Structure 1
Amino acid sequence: MSLQQISSLSLSRSFPRRLSLFSFSVACVQVMDGSETPAQQDHQNVVVMRHGDRKDNVDPLWATNAAKPWDPPLVKDGRIRAFSQGRKLRTNLGFPIHRVFVSPFLRCVQTASEVVSALCSIHDDPTILTSDDVSIDPSKVKVSIEYGLCEMINREAIRSGFPQDGNWGFNISELEAMLPAGTVDSTVEHVYKELPQWAETVAGARARYLQIFQALADKYPTENLLLVTHGEGVGVAFSAFKKNSTVYAVEYCAYTELRRPIVHKDGSFVAGDFETRNGQGIGYIPSNAVADDVT
């Protein structure tokens, strides 16, 4: 199914956390090489994660006086959840994360900061709850901001107003400074040079998420990626690559794990299809079945 076809899908609007029910499948782009040099097969893993607990959902009055009501920060519980999830990823994934890409929204950058600190921590002290005073090895993971991972730019997702002048106030240098020292790779070229225009359709946002997942994976086929994004993006990642599934809930810091075979040949590669392997915090309905949860 092409991105254009996905964009034209008729979708309902009953998904908790402003997400609609959706289900589709796609095939990955493949880069072919006609060389007869013996090929080497490997696998690439891509983890797609939602941000932690956002302040406006805990304090509904926060947006009233906020300078940027469309860009809430994490609450403390959100930082704790994100750091804990990072620790679990480090222990349970079974493969290292090499590179992290992050939506420019503050809640995602703060989530990534906690997760990356946990991934890079030198001492795994179970009594530590957040990244405060954690010693890290910044060589383990590199992090970059990516506009294409942003929230849906519409009223479906952004409930507390939007900048009438189109200036969302994202200062990339300031956002990068919030990430663990030494982990930022500011030389990476953005796939999306700017945010989508206001009133992005839900179907258009889903096509964007799918396209950015594919583009980042193809750009770094020898690396395992963590993509910190929003609930809709996690739902897309899960449903797009898990046949006949309909996502209905995505918890804070929920994630899905995608995996695909990669055949390297003469400096090029052939990529197989992604499949959804594991995850946590995602509720979905298999076709013709009762509701299930990925735990």
Structure 2
Amino acid sequence: MESPKSNMDDGYQNIFVMRHGDRIDNFEPLWVSTAERPWDPPLVQDGMIRAFRTGQRIRSQIGFPIHRVFVSPFLRCLQTASEVVAALSAVNVDPNAMSSKDVPSIDKSKLKVSIELGLCEMLNSVAIRRELAPKDGKFDFTISDIETMFPEGMVDHNVDMVYKELPKWEESVEGCRDRYVKVVKALADKYPSENLLLVTHGEGVGTTFSTFYKDTTVYEVDYCAYVEMRREVSSKDGSVKAGDYEVVLSHGQAGIRFSHDPVSYEPVISQSPV
């Protein structure tokens, strides 16, 4: 664990794990027939609005700042994160604003953004139709290009990714779930004095919820639904002591359908593409 900021008071670290907004191929089925990257759909306009509104809701309901945002390299997650960041960082909060286009000014000092490859989509034919995946199994992302989607000065280029490269195509479902849990824990441990927002895919949200909210079976995760967690963190003599993760049931969980029982977790992607 990195040492916390010297002015940090003993308290809680808060972590949000959010699904992206409404993806275009679920609303326009013919989109994939002409798309250059059919495995990497963007958001529809309603998805942009939903993401911005979710950012506004988080900002208005929590009594603490979000310090860092980590995001999957897939376009739908990047666009979601961009809208959420605009809502969280708007200098003047307009309750009638519908998207980042309605935000005249952003405070770039409010938070930092980083790409995390470990938050990526489940790279197998369960989540991505085989005929839509790259023929060579290599998913092409240019980090320097996708970082330009965020306001200049907001991207933290000094952050080392937990996963230095993408998983290999046809990773196992269990391997993917382990990956999501590993990334959540690793990022939380790396920044114990900061509150984090992780923008990922439906499987990542469902896995996080069922892992940290024991004996839970997740059936479906809506667009922009999120898991809110916290843990007690204290510092003494330069070292950090962290408690167990606690899931905070909040408005974000309204979009997560689950039951409390020891039945094995069913992949949320079985309901709709993630």
Q: Is TM more than 0.5 here?
A: yes
> Which of 284, 291, 295 is residue 258 of structure 2 equivalent to?
284
Whether 2:100 is the aligned partner of 1:131: answer yes
Query: Which residue is 2:268 aligned to?
Result: none
> Is the Cα contact below 8 Å between 1:48 and 1:256 reproduced in 2?
yes
Between Structure 1 and Structure 2, which shows a larger proportion of helix residues?
Answer: 2
> Is the Cα contact below 8 Å between 1:82 and 1:111 reproduced in 2?
yes
Query: Which residue is 1:112 aligned to?
Result: 81
Please state how far the C-alpha of 1:43 moved relative to its aligned partner.
1.1
What is the root-mean-square deviation of aligned Cα atoms in Å? 1.8
SS at match of 1:101: strand
Please state how far the C-alpha of 1:143 moved relative to its aligned partner.
0.3
Query: Which residue is 2:126 aligned to?
Result: 156
Poorly superposed stretches of 4+, deviation over 6 Å: none
Whether 2:55 is the aligned partner of 1:81: answer no
Query: Which residue is 1:44 aligned to?
Result: 13
> Is the Cα contact below 8 Å between 1:44 and 1:259 reproduced in 2?
yes
Query: Which residue is 2:176 aligned to?
Result: 205
> Is the Cα contact below 8 Å between 2:215 and 2:262 reproduced in 1?
no
Whether 2:189 is the aligned partner of 1:218: answer yes
Whether 2:156 is the aligned partner of 1:182: answer no
* Whole-angstrom distance in 1 between the partners of 2:262 and 2:135: 45
* Whole-angstrom distance in 2 between the partners of 1:167 and 1:205: 17
Whether 2:142 is the aligned partner of 1:142: answer no
**CA shift digits 1:125-150 (9 cap, x unpaired):** 12221101511101001000000000
> Which of 202, 205, 218 is residue 234 of structure 1 equivalent to?
205
Structure 2 portions without partners, runs of 5+: 2-8, 264-274
Query: Which residue is 2:272 aligned to?
Result: none
* Whole-angstrom distance in 2 between the partners of 1:114 and 1:180: 11
Query: Which residue is 2:139 aligned to?
Result: 168
> Is the Cα contact below 8 Å between 2:138 and 2:169 reproduced in 1?
no
Query: Which residue is 1:243 aligned to?
Result: 214
Structure 1 portions without partners, runs of 5+: 1-30, 32-39, 290-295
> Is the Cα contact below 8 Å between 1:116 and 1:180 reproduced in 2?
no
Query: Which residue is 2:166 aligned to?
Result: 195
Q: Which amino acid aligns with 1:157?
A: A
**CA shift digits 1:247-283 (9 cap, x unpaired):** 1110000001011111212222121110111242111
Q: Which amino acid aligns with 2:64?
A: F
* Whole-angstrom distance in 1 between the partners of 2:162 and 2:216: 28
How many residue pairs get aligned? The number is: 253
Q: Which amino acid aligns with 1:285?
A: S
* Whole-angstrom distance in 2 between the partners of 1:247 and 1:288: 11
Whether 2:39 is the aligned partner of 1:65: answer no
> Is the Cα contact below 8 Å between 2:12 and 2:233 reproduced in 1?
yes
* Whole-angstrom distance in 2 between the partners of 1:157 and 1:288: 25
Worse-superposed segment, 184-193 or 146-155 = 184-193
* Whole-angstrom distance in 2 between the partners of 1:133 and 1:261: 36
* Whole-angstrom distance in 2 between the partners of 1:111 and 1:182: 19
> Is the Cα contact below 8 Å between 2:217 and 2:262 reproduced in 1?
no
Percent sequence identity is: 59
* Whole-angstrom distance in 2 between the partners of 1:129 and 1:92: 18
Please state how far the C-alpha of 1:45 moved relative to its aligned partner.
0.6
Please state how far the C-alpha of 1:173 moved relative to its aligned partner.
1.1
SS at match of 2:10: strand
What's the TM-score, normalizing by structure 2? 0.88
Please state how far the C-alpha of 1:166 moved relative to its aligned partner.
3.5
